[in-house]
Structure 1
């Protein structure tokens, strides 16, 4: 499939490529080319853009990092289009780019990784968290944040901690959603639990689609619902759920870290949005407190206020990982040159039958130093704003950890931590790492949670008498209300009731 993408998509890009020039620089160059693919107008994209620009300035202003070499960063806005992301990848590769940071979703990363693998250009992504994006299938793909594999293990251990045996999974029906739920199912089986009902949502689901899906969910036995989707549709799901009385006492909603990303980026949220998410449990990638992190956070308001016409916004975990991704790559480039690497490219098309012609395939070059740069990336051992950065043998970051967050009142509170080291705990990961690992059930603990319905009583998992009739009535009323309010009926956009920004896919 990779060659098909290369042959087809280059038609759209050949006019901007140079005519197959081969570059060979045997000494440290003054400048190296790095590409970035973002979606600016998203919760994660707008934060990552500021973080990456700040990191590039910091790296290039410190001559000790790359011994005088500077990174020439070219940033492209894919406008959350998978096709544009693919085209932009080809554009970068046609301009002798030695590494690419991005994209902002796992679905695009699956396709782009086939191209970067073929042309041996490392692809570093802090947001493509799909567990199926593995180094075995995509050797030049490097994830620079925590894989969703660990987030799903954390959710499974939360489910097991409360003694629940079955969950319902509501998720976006694409690679990111499906593969995340597969990982959740595997993690639950390890705890002798299971997903009793799967409710996939179309990637562009309307409010009526979501209402119909939640009606079916309401008729299932499990009241423990895991919501794995993107930020904007996730808020729509919870808005519809509240109207269907699925945010009342007896229900449990566990949202993956799309919700904590919104809370960090857009706080304070509008009161009507906060009303929709009361009692929800969500996860946030854990980054330890440090002088480096505090210093970067202290700069944030100035960074956002000075560079964005729409004013400042909050810093989320992905922004921290985006910043560290640039530094990781800078240290890797330094190692690359220290190991004798040079910037050289050779033509991808070697067959005389394919050279020349209107497709201009001569412009696609293989990065000859790609394997050495990839090796250098995996050898980096540094401390960044997210804490210690080092890769394990399976190319995940060391010490995966999440905060367990409970949405209450006008904000949220941390009720515990999850680490791959000791499971659930109220102790911070730094404290746990000083002790022997202990995953016994007696050692698993979180603080009290305020559940949907403003109750501290742990929800029961049995059926509600009379609820089946009520949910149909509520669903019919919600569709009528939505049609009257928007004037669009079933064709209304998923972002209608929430008032938040566009979707970012992972």
Structure 2
């Protein structure tokens, strides 16, 4: 029992493995010892690799993306690094640097290493894994050079956290704000009683020593001793039974004076019994699995002055938690937590509560070297313009991209010193393409690139981009043409052909319905067939312009006409509005709408010089002979005016921000954006791979673009295209289709059919003596013909006919109310039936009387209901065979 360090344990394990003697350590915690795979080695201490997940959870909780491990340069320190690196990388946390410090390093060497970390690495989160002696020296020197101030984060492993109480006051003061991870030892009465007894015994044996605190290694040593005693009792061996058998097998290792080893007779049994020992010790439940003590709960402490404060716990299944329940488990935490809300309040280095962002500018006083592109001449200076101030020897950048960048930096919660460096040749021209500019970050010449740089896939392989701050995509811009209809048939364009046909059919149908309803009761709808057809069509078509002169007298016809006039009102008003728009409002449409049209007709297209758009056009299949570059909106406009025939262009491809700027300069009646639109990431700022600035600046960009600040900047530098906010209809289609009016036609149709149905039912009911006549010799066709001929006659019972007849009698008879008394009045002409006889086939009867029932026989027709039958007509009827028993 008792190898206290990893190096000691490494040597002793080999001896125990050879002699079959159990080797028990309670202080050697390196995970590298487990790689020896000795069945006789027992680590009754918490193995270091068990805490790396707890450390990773803390780093994740505060959103830090980079960590620098600082460890002792020996087997103890190196044993943890592979495990820590693996777990951090799985959590997407980078390790830009590993700092190994020798145990024998002087103060100057340690200070030099700390300065190197502070001045060359942006990371400000450190994980320290080393012995207490070297760790104490590290923190004391770190405080002297300012690395224990605000903005720094220090996390120590259990190798120092377990012994925090043993540090002197100077070391504790220098470790103000440090977080520590150590194995959780529950407070129990058993532990308290043992602590009191141990302290009394320790003071009695060591009266000159001041430190009387029992640390975790003493607790593990006590539990290891109890476990070994229980194992010995279980095996049943005594002091006299520890015998050895001599072995002539030489050691596999070079060990002087140990060429021959004896093998313990009961070592294997004792080792097996120790593996199966279970009890409740001072450190909690004692359980050894594969030679390692299982103690899964860690506590997280915050070092504040001379005291330590517990801020939370960590377990493998639940992650972080602020408290444990009575059973020593995390409560109220269903899922694995890596949230800082599950930790208590923490005082960080510098005696502050504000959480560090985890990184700073690498060198004290150093400014970010920001590369900016140089535009050709004075073109597109609204986006970016570079001027060189020779007096101050500084590059000045202005424009939309720069203003957005400055607005973003203003939102950041920290200062970010920077300087602009123009990517230009001595003559002032740009030193290369935008891809070449991006590569300067990759090669370390620039710390960032700010400008109108588009986020595309191949560039993101070398740098990290922020969130875009402009619209994304590459689109096509073409010239416009006016589509106003100025030909002789323009008046037909407001309505589609299906609506014209539907309207014409509806007019004919309405004319028919009105004729049916008015034919028997209205003289205007009577007469020869051609006259009746003409009147019906004239009536229905004249309703379009409300010029119908014929009056309708039946209520059903009035109902149909009212509904139809409402339909006509809607149609006429819509037609008028659409025709006015077609003839007066500017109807703009693009001259080209399809890329294939450009390829098929071999038209020239333009693109901005030096732009990546060239690659897109080549992928689309455009040969170099059809590609023309331009360097300014003015040059692009001139190329459009020329056209492909004169060496110009018929379309241009450019990024959306440039196209909107182009449309802001020139009228939207001349040019327009059309599909296709190729996806790109928009304009963004570029930084080195893994730069911690990317996340902060991206969040700041979202704040700028989602607020009103971005609109203010755009209004400062650009004229917004009027067509994007106006009511000008581009690609306007004013043709009105049937889909917009079928509901009106449906209403009119239902009303008309309903009126026809009511009229038909009423007519058949009034003449049911015709179609219900029970003489089987009378065919249905004959009855139908009788009904049709009755329908063709006037309905003299109608109020309109009675009124007109009364007026006529009053005006023609000498016995009118104006005649003098005593005037002799002859019989009324209407009573002279021989002059007013209608003939229905072989029937003759007076039209003044409604024929309710007609009895048809082979020889006679007997009138009923006082119908006056003309004697001559009767003779004709009886002499003919209108109804016979044979054909």
Q: Normalising TM by the smaller chain, what interval?
A: 0.5 to 0.7
The reply on whether 1:384 has 2:285 as its aligned counterpart is no
Question: CA 1:347 to 1:468, structure 2 compared with 1: closer, same or farther past 3 Å?
Answer: farther
- 8 A Cα contact 2:287 2:294, kept in partner: yes
Rounded to whole Å, the distance in 2 between the matches of 1:427 and 1:348 is: 55
Q: Which runs of 5+ in 1 are unaligned?
A: 1-100, 470-506
- Correspondent of 2:150 among 234, 249, 253: 249
**Once the 2 structures are TM-superposed, how far is the Cα of residue 446 of structure 1 from its aligned partner?**
1.0
Which residue pairs with 2:657 in the alignment? none
Rounded to whole Å, the distance in 2 between the matches of 1:373 and 1:423 is: 37
- 8 A Cα contact 1:113 1:123, kept in partner: yes
Q: Secondary structure at the match of 2:105?
A: coil
Q: Aligned runs of 1:225-236 on 2, under 5 Å?
A: 225-236=126-137
Question: CA 1:390 to 1:171, structure 2 compared with 1: closer, same or farther past 3 Å?
Answer: same
* 1:308-346 superposed Cα distances (whole Å, 9 cap, x missing partner): 14234211111111111100111111122289x953311
Q: Which runs of 5+ in 2 are unaligned?
A: 367-887
Rounded to whole Å, the distance in 1 between the matches of 2:237 and 2:174 is: 54
The reply on whether 1:261 has 2:156 as its aligned counterpart is no
Which residue pairs with 2:799 in the alignment? none
- 8 A Cα contact 2:320 2:337, kept in partner: no
Question: CA 1:453 to 1:321, structure 2 compared with 1: closer, same or farther past 3 Å?
Answer: same
Rounded to whole Å, the distance in 1 between the matches of 2:276 and 2:316 is: 22
* 1:387-424 superposed Cα distances (whole Å, 9 cap, x missing partner): 110123x4433342221110112312111112223221
- Correspondent of 1:298 among 196, 199, 207: 196
Question: CA 1:185 to 1:462, structure 2 compared with 1: closer, same or farther past 3 Å?
Answer: same
The reply on whether 1:397 has 2:293 as its aligned counterpart is yes
Which residue pairs with 1:287 in the alignment? 185
Which residue pairs with 1:182 in the alignment? 82
- 8 A Cα contact 1:301 1:312, kept in partner: no
- Correspondent of 1:373 among 270, 274, 285: 270
Which residue pairs with 2:206 in the alignment? 308
Question: CA 1:361 to 1:299, structure 2 compared with 1: closer, same or farther past 3 Å?
Answer: closer
- Correspondent of 2:246 among 347, 353, 374: 347
Rounded to whole Å, the distance in 2 between the matches of 1:350 and 1:451 is: 58
Question: CA 1:391 to 1:274, structure 2 compared with 1: closer, same or farther past 3 Å?
Answer: closer
**Once the 2 structures are TM-superposed, how far is the Cα of residue 194 of structure 1 from its aligned partner?**
3.0
- 8 A Cα contact 2:302 2:308, kept in partner: yes
Question: CA 1:456 to 1:365, structure 2 compared with 1: closer, same or farther past 3 Å?
Answer: same
Rounded to whole Å, the distance in 2 between the matches of 1:199 and 1:382 is: 41
Rounded to whole Å, the distance in 2 between the matches of 1:361 and 1:263 is: 40
**Once the 2 structures are TM-superposed, how far is the Cα of residue 254 of structure 1 from its aligned partner?**
0.6
Rounded to whole Å, the distance in 2 between the matches of 1:342 and 1:162 is: 58
Rounded to whole Å, the distance in 2 between the matches of 1:199 and 1:259 is: 17
**Once the 2 structures are TM-superposed, how far is the Cα of residue 262 of structure 1 from its aligned partner?**
3.2
Rounded to whole Å, the distance in 2 between the matches of 1:135 and 1:332 is: 25
- 8 A Cα contact 1:290 1:387, kept in partner: no
Q: Relative to structure 2, which stretch is displaced further, 123-132 or 256-265?
A: 256-265
Which residue pairs with 1:163 in the alignment? 63
* 1:202-256 superposed Cα distances (whole Å, 9 cap, x missing partner): 1211111111111121121210011111001101100111111000100001111
Q: Secondary structure at the match of 1:194?
A: coil
Question: CA 1:239 to 1:440, structure 2 compared with 1: closer, same or farther past 3 Å?
Answer: closer
The reply on whether 1:211 has 2:111 as its aligned counterpart is yes
Q: Aligned runs of 1:25-40 on 2, under 5 Å?
A: none
Which residue pairs with 1:96 in the alignment? none
- Correspondent of 2:350 among 453, 456, 460: 453
Which residue pairs with 1:8 in the alignment? none
Which residue pairs with 1:197 in the alignment? 97
Rounded to whole Å, the distance in 1 between the matches of 2:245 and 2:200 is: 43
Q: CA RMSD in A?
A: 2.7
- 8 A Cα contact 2:321 2:333, kept in partner: no
For the pair shown, the structure with the greater C-alpha radius of gyration is 2
Rounded to whole Å, the distance in 2 between the matches of 1:310 and 1:405 is: 31
- 8 A Cα contact 2:58 2:338, kept in partner: no
The reply on whether 1:274 has 2:274 as its aligned counterpart is no
The reply on whether 1:413 has 2:313 as its aligned counterpart is no
Question: CA 1:177 to 1:391, structure 2 compared with 1: closer, same or farther past 3 Å?
Answer: same
Q: Secondary structure at the match of 2:162?
A: helix
- 8 A Cα contact 1:149 1:180, kept in partner: yes
The reply on whether 1:153 has 2:53 as its aligned counterpart is yes
Rounded to whole Å, the distance in 2 between the matches of 1:362 and 1:201 is: 37
Rounded to whole Å, the distance in 2 between the matches of 1:293 and 1:271 is: 27
Q: Aligned runs of 1:431-442 on 2, under 5 Å?
A: 431-432=328-329, 438-441=335-338
Q: Which has the higher contact order (CA 8 A, sep 6+)?
A: 1
- 8 A Cα contact 2:323 2:331, kept in partner: no
Which residue pairs with 1:133 in the alignment? 33
- 8 A Cα contact 1:418 1:424, kept in partner: yes
The reply on whether 1:172 has 2:72 as its aligned counterpart is yes
Rounded to whole Å, the distance in 2 between the matches of 1:391 and 1:331 is: 14
* Equivalenced residues, count: 359
Question: CA 1:372 to 1:465, structure 2 compared with 1: closer, same or farther past 3 Å?
Answer: closer
- 8 A Cα contact 2:172 2:306, kept in partner: yes
Q: Secondary structure at the match of 1:192?
A: coil
* 1:92-140 superposed Cα distances (whole Å, 9 cap, x missing partner): xxxxxxxxx1211112211221121111111111111111211662221
TM, length-normalised to structure 2:
0.38
- 8 A Cα contact 1:265 1:315, kept in partner: no
Which residue pairs with 1:332 in the alignment? 231
Which residue pairs with 1:25 in the alignment? none
- 8 A Cα contact 1:304 1:312, kept in partner: no
Rounded to whole Å, the distance in 2 between the matches of 1:257 and 1:360 is: 37
Question: CA 1:373 to 1:194, structure 2 compared with 1: closer, same or farther past 3 Å?
Answer: farther
Rounded to whole Å, the distance in 2 between the matches of 1:120 and 1:240 is: 46
Which residue pairs with 2:124 in the alignment? 223
Question: CA 1:212 to 1:348, structure 2 compared with 1: closer, same or farther past 3 Å?
Answer: farther
